[in-house]
Amino acid sequence: MLSKPFSVSFFLSIFVLPCVFGHVELGRKVNLSARETESEKNSETYVVIFDAGSSGTRVHLFRFDENIDLLQIDGQLEIYAKVSPGLSTYAENPQEAASSIVPLLEKAVNAIPENLRSQTPVKLGVRSLFSNSLLLYEKEWVLVLSGTQEGTYMWVAMNYLLGHLGEEYSQTVGIIDLGGASVQMAYAISAQAAENAPRTGEQYITEHHLKGTNYYLYVHSYLRGQDAARAEILKSTNDSVNYCILSGYNGTYIYNGAIYNTRSSSSGSNYKKCKTNVLKALNVNAKCEVKNCTFNGVWNGGGGAGQDKLYLASAFFYVASDDNIIDRNAQSGELTPAEFKRAAISACALSSLEEAHAKYPNAWSSNLPYLCMDLVYQAGIVTEKVSIKLNDTETYVIIFDGGSTGSRLHVFRFDDNIDLLQINGSLEVYDKITPGLSSYAENPDETANSLIPLLKEALDAVPENLQPVTPIKLGVRRLFSNSHYNTNSFLRHHINDRF
């Protein structure tokens, strides 16, 4: 039976947002937010921000006018550069940590007019370095941010850039920022929803007055960033083979000082089995003490208009651009939740690292073994954390009609209103083979084998990215009454990894 798919009333946008909040290992935050300092003699202000993430350190240089509106610098909205590894790598050698970001500091200083350098604030917790620089620096600017603060500031920054601050909460956008060690989600909810928020001892809701409007923000931070998630997913298989790893890879993964064995299955990666590992790592079955939980028993905020438009940042963008899911040269791109799933299925179907490199030439070689894992995890965040229903604007259905005179194949294509759509100019793909299945009463194996040519034709008719979600039906008018052979089971055996 064909059922109408759920509709989705929003879109996902993946983008690069100048991230003004950094973090080190396991979610500790460093305050990098800049108080805009106006020059007494100039109408422009520069701000230097260092984002000290778990995988690397980034510098962002911004330029504002007297109304704190962004101005371009050499045709761009920011000057940006990055060095690796992250500062946490130098935990035993603080001076080396400071030295590692000297090239970033020099790049920022050189882009600022000389007469404004002494008035330009710089933010990051490396006091001995910045106190000797040409930039304005005060030690009080070094603070530790909580995950809630980081998510809140990310929401404010995004809605500021989009021009939504001051509008009704329903006109704002939600944000999920996937870093290396942690992931934050934030979106605005109604005053009534805030009043009814669960009282569990954890502060889910914060109130803010911005540009004349009160906002109630749902914010939560999880210690499950992209790098941390890899470790958790590998841990879930207890050093055995992992179906999230591409075929042929056998190595180790190091995170936060721990070493994890990384071994692929002899059959390679598998989307369904990898998803099982991912959901286990996300702890989606954790006990929920309140109504509407995401994963790990955490309240999801209840949803609402403030979540209708959702922006995804950081690792979401980098993975999507490296894996050709969105335009690598664009600053943003739109995806549906279903497209996330299809991208994950496609990556998990790769048969080797060589094939992965050929298909994703922009991806770093060190990330290739984890393509399946990373995409399945990101799809899991979107669908499990936000409770988004997957939806496609088109649906294919394959039907096998096993009649007495022959077996027939029908492939239909529907839109989300269950109206028929054409396939290559026709309303269906149709074919027939003879004789009928009843002719094979004494040879059940031949029964199923006779349908294989039709099955192959069906595969050719359905787009590869939709095959895993396409239902297949076998209707048999006259099969062997004296046989216990299940032809449908045989078909499922042959198409297990594709349908």
CATH class of 394-495: alpha beta
| Mean of all residue pLDDT scores within the chain | 75
**CATH 3.30.420.40 domain span(s) along the chain:** 32-141, 394-495
Q: In which residue are the tokens 């954390």 written?
A: 385
| 259-273 residue pLDDT tens | 998 989 888 999 999
What average pLDDT score do residues 303-332 get? 83
What average pLDDT score do residues 30-42 get? 37
- Planar angle of CA 80, 50, 143, nearest 5 degrees: 160
Q: Is 150 a catalytic residue?
A: yes
Peptide bond into 435 cis (omega under 30): yes
| 391-412 residue pLDDT tens | 446 788 888 887 778 888 888 8
pTM of the model: 0.63
Q: Per the annotation, does 183 bind a ligand?
A: yes
Active-site choice (25, 150, 232, 339): 150
CATH of 32-141, picked from 3.80.10.10, 3.30.420.40, 3.40.190.10, 3.40.50.1000, is: 3.30.420.40
Q: Is 60 exceeded by the pLDDT of residue 39?
A: no
Q: Per the annotation, does 378 bind a ligand?
A: no
The residue type at 146: S
Q: Per the annotation, does 76 bind a ligand?
A: no
**CATH 3.30.420.150 domain span(s) along the chain:** 147-385
Q: Are 448 and 490 in contact (CB under 8 A)?
A: yes
Q: Per the annotation, does 184 bind a ligand?
A: yes
| 170-189 residue pLDDT tens | 999 999 988 888 888 999 99
Instruction: Return the SS3 of 493.
Output: helix
More confident residue, 385 or 313: 313
Nearest by Cα to 29 from 9, 53, 62, 46: 53
Q: Which CATH superfamily is domain 147-385 in?
A: Exopolyphosphatase. Domain 2 (3.30.420.150)
Q: Is 60 exceeded by the pLDDT of residue 124?
A: no
Q: Is 50 exceeded by the pLDDT of residue 455?
A: yes
Q: Per the annotation, does 411 bind a ligand?
A: no
Give the span between the Cα atoms of 163 and 83, in whole angstroms. Answer: 31
Peptide bond into 85 cis (omega under 30): yes
pLDDT of residue 87: 73
| 246-298 residue pLDDT tens | 998 999 998 878 899 898 988 899 999 999 888 887 777 778 777 777 777 78
